[in-house]
Structure 1
Amino acid sequence: MRTRPQPSSPGTTTPAEMNAVVLDRFGAEDELALRRIAVPEVGAREVLIRVRVAGVASWDAEERRGHYDGVFGIPSRFPYVLGWDAAGTVAAVGPEVTRFELGDRVYAASMPVPRGGFYAEFGVVDEEHAAHLPPQLSMEQAGVMAWDALTAQSGLELLDLRPGQTLMVFGASGGMGHLAVQLARHRGIRVLAVSSGADGVALSRAQGADAVVDGRAHDVLAAAEAFAPGGIDAALVTAGGPAAERALRAVSPAGRIAWPNGVHPLPAAAPAAPILSFDGDRGRAALDRLNAVVEAGAFTPHVAQRFPMARAQDAHRALREHYVGKLALLVADDEAAPDSSSRRP
């Protein structure tokens, strides 16, 4: 069942059209264009979000190039709107929605197929994949975190480490990695953060990692041996490649390695410890568990750079450069930017 969006406030209606960053074909950054398209319709159990901030992530670039075309069993349709993460306010709800009301501040983890993502003024998502925004986070922080945080949380739950056990987070200063460090510390796990660059090392230290090594400049295996002489209990890998494959030698054969589906390349040779592949859980219960960590005051997503919608091409070019944490697309920066500056780490 589909309905047109319900009134966003008494006497007003959600517009029929919106500004969005779209693709008319897959390709390079220059294919991204800002123009007006129809606001998505709202299903019975769906929430229409007036987007304030959308996350810009590495998988957006893969999707932009067409590497996800057809992988979800649904044909790609143009104009195609990217964007898996967002925060904003509820603009409309379907008739069967029970958890949200108009005007609620929310964040969400969605999928651009089949009905469009969050590089737009409005985005629609099943209420199961949306959550109320805790007051501890700014709109900007919440807008970039959902998929990475939920995937990191799922990996840690799969590893099921006890307080005091050791974890190596490979890619600890990246989007997923810097959130995994904080989630692990909240669980009382001892964390060796393999970060990138001086800024990445500084971020991981600020977030409470027990030990930090610059994976680009120093010997990760030596750092791991000093951190856990008997072998590290587990690893969470957020970036593949030869450096990750070598670092995994530090994991005890009796340990475990959590490897999110979609992180490439996979190891050419199997490490001694088993690899556990998994997907991020974005259901209501998982969102509730994430919010509990946020509300405990132990979680701060780091936003490295911010781009207005008109500079979406520049945001995607920045994905090819070195940065730590996350990139944000300010869909309505008049509201998003002021409440975020005081909360950045």
Structure 2
Amino acid sequence: MRSIIVHRFGGPEVLELVDTPVPEPAQGQVRIRVAASSVNPIDLSARAGRLTEAGLMAPAPRIGMGWDVAGHIDAAGPEVVRFCVGDAVVGLRDLLFAPGSHAEHVVLDESAIAAAPQSVSITAAATLPLNGLTADRAVNLTGLSRGQTLLVTGAAGGVGGFVLELAALKGLRTIAVVRPGDEDLVRTLGASDVITSTEQLGLAVRRLAHGGVDAVIDAAVLGIRAHDALRGGGTFVALVAPFAPPPIRGTRVVVQEVVADGARLAELSALVDSAALTPRVAHTLPLADAAQAHTQMERGGVRGRVVLIP
């Protein structure tokens, strides 16, 4: 089968399309014939070597790219009980040492997959696992209840958009930080208020939420600038550990670490089918154009995910 790998770290040019053996599922695993796999910021970090430098990924002579997958099961190992060959599924590959999902086939534990949502295309479904599970866990880590206020940086992005929708379901007031031009988008996703500049962000937010917000989810990795908007004793959820600010003023700073939770992914898939969550595809590219996808993501301003089609 064809898959995207890197033998060395660097820019998009280090991505290679190679032939690799078709993987076989072991006990409790399924093999998925990949229909679509989205490109995420963490793929860029893995390719550039930032995850290895941070001690989050062990050095290896070759690394497979890709976390998200949507496709159809074409083989199942012993003791697989919830899925059958032919089922349309979505899943998350959260083991960095395993072969990646930017490939024609990928093997995942049964516990890491869920039935794909039926109301959107399989391509759109591929944008749900990593971003949806990240957003869901981040919202839960805030510990907020109905009526409290949440600041979301990078609110127009893949994670931020899901955060806004999940927060709306919990009855939270959200203040979205976005680039100029994204105001209408985030309001359709549930933002209560919108800020389009990160200059003096703390002051700008405190004009809207006196005393500061109850929690921050920092999808744009603004760090201490976003923390300035947080009330004393509030909760700051960081998505990237090295850029988490210190817990000053009695705040609680936590780092969200995504996990391949198939049971929760099934609930998120159902939310897509009820129109409560909105997967967004910026555009699609063939697997062979993975370098182009990385270049577009690094350029920024992509609203939705670039999805690779084997």
Whether TM exceeds 0.5 here: the answer is yes
Contact 1:166 1:189 in 2 (8 A): yes
Mind listing any 5+ residue stretches in structure 1 that lack a counterpart? 1-17, 333-345
* Aligned residue in 2 for 1:170: 153
| Matching of residue 83 in structure 1 with residue 66 in structure 2 | yes
Alignment RMSD = 2.2
Cα distance in 1 between the residues matched to 2:142 and 2:246: 22
* Aligned residue in 2 for 1:256: 235
Q: What letter matches 1:247 in structure 2?
A: A
* Aligned residue in 1 for 2:269: 291
Contact 2:284 2:309 in 1 (8 A): no
Q: What letter matches 2:117 in structure 1?
A: P
Cα distance in 1 between the residues matched to 2:27 and 2:177: 45
Distance 1:268 1:253, change over 3 A: closer
Cα distance, 1:152 vs structure 2: 1.2
Cα distance in 1 between the residues matched to 2:254 and 2:72: 36
Cα distance in 2 between the residues matched to 1:324 and 1:317: 11
Contact 2:130 2:258 in 1 (8 A): yes
Distance 1:246 1:27, change over 3 A: closer
Mind listing any 5+ residue stretches in structure 2 that lack a counterpart? none
Cα distance in 2 between the residues matched to 1:282 and 1:172: 23
Secondary structure, aligned partner of 2:13: helix
TM-score (norm. length: structure 2): 0.91
* Aligned residue in 2 for 1:114: 97
Distance 1:149 1:159, change over 3 A: same
Cα distance in 2 between the residues matched to 1:141 and 1:215: 30
In the TM superposition, 1:286-325 aligns within 5 A as 286-325=264-303
Cα distance in 1 between the residues matched to 2:71 and 2:180: 33
Contact 2:272 2:279 in 1 (8 A): no
* Aligned residue in 1 for 2:38: 55
Q: What letter matches 1:289 in structure 2?
A: E
Secondary structure, aligned partner of 1:88: strand
Cα distance, 1:290 vs structure 2: 2.0
In the TM superposition, 1:12-31 aligns within 5 A as 18-31=1-14
| Matching of residue 232 in structure 1 with residue 213 in structure 2 | yes
| Matching of residue 211 in structure 1 with residue 190 in structure 2 | no
Q: What letter matches 2:60 in structure 1?
A: S
Identical pairs, percent: 32
* Aligned residue in 1 for 2:171: 188
Cα distance in 1 between the residues matched to 2:244 and 2:235: 15
Deviations 1:165-210 (A, max 9, x none): 1111111112211111111112111111111231x33321221211
| Greater alpha carbon shift after TM alignment, 219-228 vs 248-257 | 219-228
TM-score (norm. length: structure 1): 0.82
Deviations 1:87-120 (A, max 9, x none): 1111111111111111111111103643311111
Deviations 1:276-321 (A, max 9, x none): 2231232233223323432332110222232211211111111221
Cα distance in 2 between the residues matched to 1:181 and 1:111: 24
* Count of residues in correspondence between the two structures: 309
Secondary structure, aligned partner of 2:31: strand
